[in-house]
Structure 1
Amino acid sequence: MRNLIILLVVGLAAAEDGASAWLRYAPVPQASNYRSLPLSIVALNTTTSSPVHIAGKELQEGIKGILGKELSIADGTKRGSSSIVVGTIDAYKKTFGDFEEADDLEEDGFFLSTVGQNVRIIGQNQRGALYGAFEYLSRLAQGKFSPVTYVSNPHAPIRWVNEWNNMDGSIERGYAGPSFFFKNGFVVENVTRAAEYARLLASIRVNGIVINNVNANATLLSARNIEGLGRLADAMRPYGVQLGISLNFASPQTFGGLNTFDPLDPSVDAWWTNITNQIYKRVPDMAGYLVKANSEGQPGPLTYNRTLADGANMFARATKPHGGVVMFRAFVYDNHINESNWKNDRANAAVEFFKNLDGRFDDNVVVQIKFGPIDFQVREPPSPLFSTLHNTSTAIELQVTPEYLGQNCHLVYLSPQWKEILEFDLRADDKPSKVKDIISGERFKRPLGGSAGVVNVGTNATWLGSHLAMSNLYSYGRLAWDPSLESEQMLQDWIRLTFGFDRKVIDTITEMSMKSRAAYENYSGNLGIQTLTDILYTHFGPNPASQDGNGWGQWTRADGFSIGMDRTVKNGTGNAGQYPPAVARVFENIETTPDNLLLWFHHVNYTHLLKSGKTVIQHFYDAHYEGAATAQTFVPMWESLKGKIDNQRYSEVLFRQVFQAGHSIVWRDAISRFYNNLSGIPDQAKRVNNYPYRVEAEKMKLDGYKTYAVNPFHTASGSMAIVTTSNSSVGTASANITYPSGTYDIAVNYYDLIGGRSKYDISINNRTIGTWTGDLEDKLGHAPSIYLDGHSATRITFKGVKVNKGDMLRIVGTANGIEPAPIDYVSFLPPGIID
């Protein structure tokens, strides 16, 4: 009977806003099966700000929520007959005597034993003890009650997150509201949410956080802000999360009043030492610095013809007495390179800048390397720099906030991509050299290494703007600790903790998530061509033409006959030759290059045959239609969970899945039309530019509307849309329905610009079937657009509408602000038809 009651409580859970993430501590259905729960908690540290004390409180709160039992916390002087003991090795030995597993624990590691009457959670340090407490609670929250005894050690010492927060409170590439670290140029006064975030990070064993943008503002170093950094560090310290900051290399000149920022100038060196000492005086356990230099217009040592190592070591000298680390980004390239030179290649930049500096960095410098040679694309090979630096500590930079992959408005579970990179064997010196073993320091015997995840949480209750996107933050932390974990395993752990135990919920979210990256890759950019988004504007919607004809170097070199970057040594940029010989041979040869990286390494005709037997261009057409079709299935899959997930989270996720389904069609059509127009090669299936279910808005009868040539042309069906004749007028578009009488889903593709909230009314024979407002800027966190383009293009669908042939379709649009109620087309979709 008790199990039945608990199940009913779980099934009728109150609405949730996502703030608790995977730390919901919801009741578990099989709670009564756990009969060996100890009677009390013994926390071997009574200092209220200590991670061990926090661990005791967390255990108390978690067990009360999960198992419905409230345990007292003992003072730690002795263990009762049945206790949960949490503490460090030293504290445990002092209180209880020998601890045999002590030698097995590495820094931050923990020992967990649930065998017998007592539970022992022993950390190598206080942070490890807290990690062990979260591990125990995670097991309980997932109903994993079987007795266990094991040691868990981190794969690498550095497990950081980077938050690209600006001093004004905005977040670069952040899609979940403003910063909770900064506002109006200063560190915020209220640090409560920072502490809550540190708790989330501790639960996935992240131990450091860089709170400000890599494009740093020197005013962070003001006395008021240094005091603010102290407040933030104080708030996060109980969770074992150390604060770090990004630096602007030119700060001695722009902020400090010197006439130079030359890293070899003694006055500059002294200035950085002084400001570093000031910071460490207020934040004695600061993790260290993150530096972006000489890239994308940022200042750096190259300004003075000094090396990047000269610059990094200047900061290393300042931080070393305090135990600080300098994370020096390898993201260094010239964003004005000349595309007309066939040998030029942005992908070569990292190795070219850093290879001759190997061994010249101080021991507390870690070169932070983006996982691929370009910039967080949907598919890239691992950066060859990982296998180039044998005498330098390195860390991998991953992007949890998917800047180029849908900006949390598209479901893209990223762990499978990260796993591909981490498990890739680069065969340095023809020996096993997996990326995961390089960044840990193990492969080349380096003292430091690890992971940096660009997360960019905001004030939105969901942290990332999307409930499902939190699986990426969860899996990032888990992989940083243990990269051997499987993507599906981590995902299902996260689902149980976030949404509960219902088998259908677990299976459905698993299927959606595990299909999501392949679907996005298919309808955005495949065969290694990168994500064909607009690289010049918001990085959200499609614009393949933006890749070429500029100095940013994310080129496709597409013309009327061929496509792809020739990165071979024989004929191209030589990028393939930056890899160790065993890997270079694979990428140099078009026959051995995997098809999913073909266009990354080779320039081929559109008619080049893939290993599948398809031509490149036909693969493009087919993949884009297949990817969009998969995105459509996510909507009914999620709808099948109605009643199994609380209404708030169900509705909010459904809204985003409907958006993704519509936007995937925008992507599909834009890319297919662009390459169809460029190549002149038709789609064998006759889908591209053939849309029998659409009524083009520009062909309707217009009153108060006018036609508008959309740019880029391929982001509008038929290249045209309609807009109201002024930004304050009302327009009407009407047409007689020519489709057979029946029941249809009526989809309207329109453009939702930031800077206005137009209103729409759609009717059949003066019978309104729907109204809506162009207000996605209030509901989606993606970087919006002020133009009619692939970023602002979207779709709304009204299902199950009965129409008769000859009925009058009418759309009335009321412009608002800069948004002229723009419409692209209307689709009449019979049951089962996508469009």
Structure 2
Amino acid sequence: MTTSMTAPAHAEDGYDLWLRYRTLPAADAAARVGGARTIEVRGASPALTASANEIRRGLAGLSGNAPVADARAPAIMLATAQNRDVAMLHLPLAPLGAEGYLVRRVSLGNRKVTLVTGNTDIGVLYGSFALLRHLQTGGSLDRIDLTSSPRVKLRVLDHWDNLDGVVERGYAGASLWDWWTLPDLRDPRYTDYARANASIGINGTVLNNVNAKAESLTAPHIAKAAALADVFRPYGIKVYLAARFSAPIELGGLKTADPLDPQVAAWWKAKTDEIYRAIPDFGGFLVKANSEGQPGPRDYHRSHADGANMLAAAVAPHGGIVMWRAFVYAETDPEDRAKQAYTEFKPLDGKFAPNVIVQVKNGAIDFQPREPFHPLFGAMPKTPLMIEFQITKEYLGFATHLAYLGPMFAETLASETMRTPGETVAKVVDGSVEGHAQTGMAGVANIGRDRDWAGSTFNQANWYAFGRMAWDPTLGAAPVAREWAAMTFAPSPRVVDPVVAIMMGSREAVVDYMTPLGLAHVMATGHHYGPGPWIADLKRPEWNPVYYHRADKAGIGFDRTKTGSNAVAQYAPALARKLADPATTPERELLWFHHVAWDRRMASGRTLWAEMVHDYDSGVGYVADMRRRWDGLKTQVDTERWAKTATYLAVQEHEARWWRDASLAYWMSVNDLPLPAGVAAPAHDLAWYKAQRFPYAPGNPQ
């Protein structure tokens, strides 16, 4: 796409993501790129080759001229710290670790070069993408000085991809992995996927669903995973597999999967050795156990630590790790689903092997539009904890609702645990509080075979934001949004400013029209699409939305104080005291922690009921405003992406009104209260909303 104000925008399908490298106007290209350049590579490795190829691609696209092999032309030099000439510069590279980079104008003899360096070739790769990001967002090569290293060690995408090609909770088509044609056909999309991930610092990918099939560990599927590992390796990406805990029974013919049974441990050791023979740099296993029907160590009256440590012993000789999910959703704690993970994992603090990292969701229930941070953060100081975010929008309107999740990531990461002064979730996750060597962030991916990868242009921003904020959890949602908008559309403020304005309030709008003031899990059953706060007839109590909102004539909300489930006691004492009092609980989380009277006065002076109505209307109003802002960008954005986004925004406004109207109709049936003066009534009666059915919603295994 051109940034010229006179040339028309041309159509794009979104395939290039934020790596578009569209030609700049001549004056901008000259100022930023400085004419024809030569790319000089010191050393040889697949990662250095990938770095050089990416810079050639980027400079050719941005300048409209391919770099030339001319010793007289200004050079970009790619070299690691081990290069003799680089070593003689005495640059501050040691603190950058294995993945950090430095990009700087330096003098080598009588030559001025733009040096891209790091302690390893992967550091050079990340520096190459940083250089291109700098150019795409308005920077130039003159006086360039970039340096960064990741604050989090493991930055991983979790693909909930099944072997039949269905992506659970995926809204961008079938699985990216064509298991049928692997390992023979290595689709070019796999390389482009790796490029995109490397550009934002992601260094791992879990190929299969946490609801794993044992067949993922058979020899044919190991060969398929090995083929993907070969493609990803030059881009610094390791592959991991989700392991089904009962695989020794299903594949090995054993009568048990008891983690303390020597035969079980031996089976896993042999299977792990087999994987490492095929994939020498295999990352390790991700495990979902004893949750939602998945097998696990508790089937044998063993602990999660027993199960994790058995697998950890198998991968440890190879340098592998085990990511053991703390998501436990079973009928074992009927009092309060939000308490289950803490109840089961807190007593195990310090009992996990050194190469186990416990993977904890950002909130205590399940990827809701807003949840307070998980109480395990700050509660297991002897155990490395890896935060898990959901990039795919299972509960936030699927692919069609525009919801930029950067503010949600930032909100959780900046939350103070109040266990020690200044301790935030980010500081727990990056290891700086307890000095853990194993640190990580995982994102449940929304990547499929759709040409735009993520189902919509703005869904790409959530993939981008996750990677950038996993690299550095303190980056902030707005700066990341500005980067993404400049690279995805154009670096002009006339485009970036309104796009960022749309993005930054979009997730809060979804919260307002779906789950205001701390409500949660009021979505319809199974597919989680659309409102269903009235559902009350499912077998287990915690499957029903009424379990979570507990609305009655007196009030609404889940009492998690000592008069209720006392879930507040799972937080550090200072924070627990704050959350135990409705007056000191943030209003955005009020109904998560308290059952509140409908006529309670809020900070605005409105009653709780009037405040809820106001929030529903605010959410709908924000979506209408997003549509107006997007309409104003019609001449600045290419036709295809503009039209698809405009269509989805129209869908979102319609569905936001549906959410608002259905929710208000139900609450009014419970509280018998009228709407505040001047507020529009729901478009239909409650029976109409209850009658809606969506049997083949995407992302929901049928």
Tell me the TM-score range normalised by the shorter chain: over 0.9
| Alpha-carbon distance between aligned partners in 1 of 2:577 and 2:59, rounded to the nearest angstrom | 55
Q: Tell me, yes or no, if the aligned pair for 1:191 and 1:232 is still in contact at 8 Å.
A: no
Equivalent residue letter for 1:446: H
Provide the residue aligned with 2:38 in structure 1: 40
Among 488, 491, 495, which residue is 1:501 paired with?
A: 491
Provide the residue aligned with 1:614 in structure 2: 606
| Alpha-carbon distance between aligned partners in 1 of 2:536 and 2:688, rounded to the nearest angstrom | 15
Matches within 5 A, 1:443-592: 443-534=433-524, 536-546=525-535, 550-552=540-542, 555-568=548-561, 570-592=562-584
SS at match of 1:396: strand
Equivalent residue letter for 2:667: Y
Among 100, 113, 120, which residue is 1:125 paired with?
A: 120
> Do structure 1's residue 255 and structure 2's residue 251 form an aligned pair?
yes
Provide the residue aligned with 1:234 in structure 2: 230
Deviation at 1:401, TM superposition (A): 0.6
Matches within 5 A, 1:385-400: 385-400=376-391
Equivalent residue letter for 1:431: P
Equivalent residue letter for 2:455: G
SS at match of 1:334: coil
Equivalent residue letter for 1:312: A
Q: Which has the higher contact order (CA 8 A, sep 6+)?
A: 2
Equivalent residue letter for 2:440: G
Among 12, 17, 20, which residue is 1:21 paired with?
A: 17
| Alpha-carbon distance between aligned partners in 2 of 1:93 and 1:297, rounded to the nearest angstrom | 57
| Alpha-carbon distance between aligned partners in 2 of 1:282 and 1:324, rounded to the nearest angstrom | 14
Provide the residue aligned with 2:214 in structure 1: 218
Provide the residue aligned with 1:306 in structure 2: 302
TM-score by length of 1: 0.79
Q: Tell me, yes or no, if the aligned pair for 2:522 and 2:548 is still in contact at 8 Å.
A: no
Deviation at 1:283, TM superposition (A): 0.6
1:80–1:111 distance in 2 versus 1, CA, 3 Å: farther
1:528–1:123 distance in 2 versus 1, CA, 3 Å: same
Superimposed CA distance per residue, residues 572-601 of structure 1 (whole angstroms, 9 cap, x where no aligned partner): 211111111111111011110111111111
Among 283, 286, 306, which residue is 1:287 paired with?
A: 283
1:302–1:7 distance in 2 versus 1, CA, 3 Å: closer
Higher helix share: 2
| Alpha-carbon distance between aligned partners in 1 of 2:667 and 2:406, rounded to the nearest angstrom | 30
Provide the residue aligned with 2:414 in structure 1: 423
SS at match of 2:359: strand
Aligned residue pairs total 691
Superimposed CA distance per residue, residues 295-326 of structure 1 (whole angstroms, 9 cap, x where no aligned partner): 11110000111110010011111111111111
| Alpha-carbon distance between aligned partners in 1 of 2:535 and 2:63, rounded to the nearest angstrom | 55
Equivalent residue letter for 1:555: Y
| Alpha-carbon distance between aligned partners in 1 of 2:153 and 2:319, rounded to the nearest angstrom | 13
> Do structure 1's residue 161 and structure 2's residue 184 form an aligned pair?
no
Equivalent residue letter for 1:558: A
Equivalent residue letter for 2:43: N
| Alpha-carbon distance between aligned partners in 2 of 1:782 and 1:523, rounded to the nearest angstrom | 22
Superimposed CA distance per residue, residues 198-229 of structure 1 (whole angstroms, 9 cap, x where no aligned partner): 11000000000001000000001111111111
TM-score by length of 2: 0.94
Provide the residue aligned with 1:805 in structure 2: none
SS at match of 1:445: coil
Deviation at 1:73, TM superposition (A): 6.1
Provide the residue aligned with 1:670 in structure 2: 662
Equivalent residue letter for 2:189: R
| Alpha-carbon distance between aligned partners in 2 of 1:225 and 1:274, rounded to the nearest angstrom | 16
Q: Tell me, yes or no, if the aligned pair for 1:160 and 1:210 is still in contact at 8 Å.
A: yes
| Alpha-carbon distance between aligned partners in 1 of 2:655 and 2:40, rounded to the nearest angstrom | 53
Q: Tell me, yes or no, if the aligned pair for 1:64 and 1:70 is still in contact at 8 Å.
A: yes
Q: Tell me, yes or no, if the aligned pair for 2:168 and 2:700 is still in contact at 8 Å.
A: no
Q: Tell me, yes or no, if the aligned pair for 2:99 and 2:123 is still in contact at 8 Å.
A: yes
Provide the residue aligned with 1:636 in structure 2: 628
| Alpha-carbon distance between aligned partners in 1 of 2:364 and 2:100, rounded to the nearest angstrom | 33
Q: Tell me, yes or no, if the aligned pair for 1:386 and 1:435 is still in contact at 8 Å.
A: yes
Deviation at 1:96, TM superposition (A): 6.2
Q: 5+ unaligned residues in a row in structure 1: which ranges?
A: 339-343, 697-709, 720-750, 756-776, 786-835
SS at match of 1:111: strand
1:492–1:752 distance in 2 versus 1, CA, 3 Å: farther
Deviation at 1:467, TM superposition (A): 0.5
SS at match of 1:678: helix
Taking only the aligned residue pairs, the percentage that are identical comes to 36
> Do structure 1's residue 715 and structure 2's residue 699 form an aligned pair?
no
Q: Give the superposed CA RMSD.
A: 2.4
| Alpha-carbon distance between aligned partners in 1 of 2:69 and 2:469, rounded to the nearest angstrom | 32
Equivalent residue letter for 1:138: R
Deviation at 1:403, TM superposition (A): 0.7
Q: Tell me, yes or no, if the aligned pair for 1:669 and 1:688 is still in contact at 8 Å.
A: no
Deviation at 1:14, TM superposition (A): 2.9
| Alpha-carbon distance between aligned partners in 2 of 1:686 and 1:184, rounded to the nearest angstrom | 59
SS at match of 1:351: helix
1:131–1:527 distance in 2 versus 1, CA, 3 Å: same
1:202–1:676 distance in 2 versus 1, CA, 3 Å: same
Deviation at 1:188, TM superposition (A): 7.7
Higher strand share: 1
Q: Tell me, yes or no, if the aligned pair for 2:362 and 2:388 is still in contact at 8 Å.
A: yes
Matches within 5 A, 1:756-835: none
Q: Tell me, yes or no, if the aligned pair for 2:485 and 2:496 is still in contact at 8 Å.
A: yes
Q: Tell me, yes or no, if the aligned pair for 2:197 and 2:203 is still in contact at 8 Å.
A: yes
| Alpha-carbon distance between aligned partners in 2 of 1:531 and 1:324, rounded to the nearest angstrom | 36
Deviation at 1:337, TM superposition (A): 5.1
Deviation at 1:482, TM superposition (A): 1.1
Equivalent residue letter for 2:424: K
Superimposed CA distance per residue, residues 696-739 of structure 1 (whole angstroms, 9 cap, x where no aligned partner): 8xxxxxxxxxxxxx9x72527xx7xxxxxxxxxxxxxxxxxxxx
| Alpha-carbon distance between aligned partners in 1 of 2:680 and 2:650, rounded to the nearest angstrom | 23
Deviation at 1:627, TM superposition (A): 1.0
| Alpha-carbon distance between aligned partners in 1 of 2:369 and 2:322, rounded to the nearest angstrom | 28
Provide the residue aligned with 1:142 in structure 2: 137
Q: Tell me, yes or no, if the aligned pair for 2:579 and 2:585 is still in contact at 8 Å.
A: yes
| Alpha-carbon distance between aligned partners in 2 of 1:489 and 1:283, rounded to the nearest angstrom | 37
| Alpha-carbon distance between aligned partners in 2 of 1:81 and 1:495, rounded to the nearest angstrom | 32
Provide the residue aligned with 2:353 in structure 1: 362
Provide the residue aligned with 1:68 in structure 2: 64
1:10–1:292 distance in 2 versus 1, CA, 3 Å: farther
Q: Tell me, yes or no, if the aligned pair for 2:100 and 2:149 is still in contact at 8 Å.
A: yes
Deviation at 1:685, TM superposition (A): 2.3
> Do structure 1's residue 198 and structure 2's residue 198 form an aligned pair?
no
Provide the residue aligned with 1:822 in structure 2: none
Equivalent residue letter for 2:612: F
SS at match of 1:545: coil
Q: Which moved more, 1:184-193 or 1:212-221?
A: 184-193
1:347–1:253 distance in 2 versus 1, CA, 3 Å: same
Equivalent residue letter for 1:311: G
Equivalent residue letter for 2:266: A
Equivalent residue letter for 2:21: Y
| Alpha-carbon distance between aligned partners in 1 of 2:85 and 2:493, rounded to the nearest angstrom | 46
| Alpha-carbon distance between aligned partners in 2 of 1:573 and 1:714, rounded to the nearest angstrom | 34
Matches within 5 A, 1:719-758: none
Q: Tell me, yes or no, if the aligned pair for 2:179 and 2:224 is still in contact at 8 Å.
A: no
| Alpha-carbon distance between aligned partners in 2 of 1:469 and 1:565, rounded to the nearest angstrom | 32
Q: 5+ unaligned residues in a row in structure 2: which ranges?
A: none
Q: Tell me, yes or no, if the aligned pair for 2:33 and 2:59 is still in contact at 8 Å.
A: no
User: Which has the larger Rg?
Assistant: 1
